Amino acid sequence: MVSKLIEPKDMDFNNIQVGNESHFEIKITEEKVDQFATISGDFNPIHMDAKYAMDTKFKKRICHGMLLGSFFSQLVGMNLPGKKCLYLSQSMNFVNPCFIGDQITVKGVVIKKSDSTGILDIKTSIFNQNESLLVEGMAKVMFLKNH
């Protein structure tokens, strides 16, 4: 249950330009990884079992890639463009692992805007505290002009 309703940005389509960007930071905690495993049903030991993970090339538990990808929903639905949008698609390439304790930056940049369709193409990326690229992709978002 959400204890406090956070209002999404209410951007006007006419004011959105190619090059507009938004970003936010979030810490990846053991609790977030555990909650995501419960929600998704993905209890792969690389994510959940420190002893198992120690014997992999990563040497410790790694965050689910899809947990990282889920933050693109927050980026689009709350920040860029926010309230008046519908997510159409999201591509993702997982470049480097994310570990529990990492401080990540989730970023989006508008790279294309179609006035005729109301569709935005947003380059999406996630970096860790060392500025290593973790995830890159592309979001396609329809702006709901009549709302």
Domain of 38, CATH number, reads: 3.10.129.10
Q: How far apart are the first and last CA of the chain?
A: 27
72 located within any domain: yes
The model's pTM is 0.90
9 located within any domain: no
CB half-sphere exposure, 34, CA atoms < 13 A: 5
6 located within any domain: no
50 located within any domain: yes
pLDDT above 80: residue 112: yes
1 located within any domain: no
Domain count for the chain, please give it: 1
Name the residue range of residue 24's domain: 17-143
Q: State residue 74 phi and psi, 5-degree precision.
A: -65, -45
Reported confidence tier of residue 147, pLDDT bands at 50, 70, 90: very low
CA 145 vs CA 9, 13, 25, 125: distances in Å: 14, 7, 29, 26
**Angstrom distance (rounded) from CA 100 to CA 136:** 19
Per the CB < 8 A criterion, the answer to whether 64 and 92 are in contact is no
Q: Percent of the chain at pLDDT above 70?
A: 95
Longest dimension (CA), the chain: 54
4 located within any domain: no
11 located within any domain: no
Mean confidence (pLDDT) of the chain? 93
pLDDT above 60: residue 3: no
10 located within any domain: no
